[in-house]
């Protein structure tokens, strides 16, 4: 079955840029979305269609995609950005798949 692979954890110092990757064979032809989930809360959409940011999401969140890798970048990471981040996409048969998630630590 199709998989989206994310690093289990990423650490960044406050004010630095955090980058979280998501790799999948279908990503050259399929959009990726990204979700932030803070402890005990429901996920929140932060990026969709590879690069688009929903209203209300800070500009420091951005997305990109090249080949089989989609990337979520958080420029000037803040303590409040500490959370689990999940990528999402579909396979060649339009079946929905989430990545395994990445825990972002800001310290």
Nearer to another protein, 44 or 69 (CB): 44
97 is an interface residue for another protein by CB under 8 A: yes
42 is an interface residue for another protein by CB under 8 A: yes
- What is the signed CA dihedral for 65, 27, 72, 81, rounded to 10 degrees? 160
Nearer to another protein, 1 or 80 (CB): 1
Q: How many CB atoms lie within 10 A of CB 75?
A: 14
Q: Rounded to the nearest whole angstrom, what is the least distance from the CB of residue 56 to another protein in the complex?
A: 11
Tokens representing residue 50 in the block? 């590879």
Q: Give the binding site for another protein (CB under 8 A).
A: 1, 33, 35, 37, 42-45, 48-49, 52, 54, 86, 88, 95-101
């Amino acid at each position: 079955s199709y998989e989206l692979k994310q690093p289990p954890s990423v650490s960044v110092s406050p004010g630095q840029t955090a980058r979280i990757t998501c790799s999948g064979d279908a990503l050259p032809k399929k959009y990726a979305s990204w979700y932030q989930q803070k402890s005990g809360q429901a996920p929140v959409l932060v990026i969709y269609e590879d690069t688009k940011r929903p209203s209300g999401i800070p500009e420091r969140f951005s997305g990109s995609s090249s080949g089989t890798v989609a990337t979520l970048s958080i420029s000037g990471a803040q303590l409040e950005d500490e959370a689990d981040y999940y990528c999402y996409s579909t396979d060649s048969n339009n079946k929905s798949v989430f990545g395994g998630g990445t825990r972002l630590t800001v310290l």
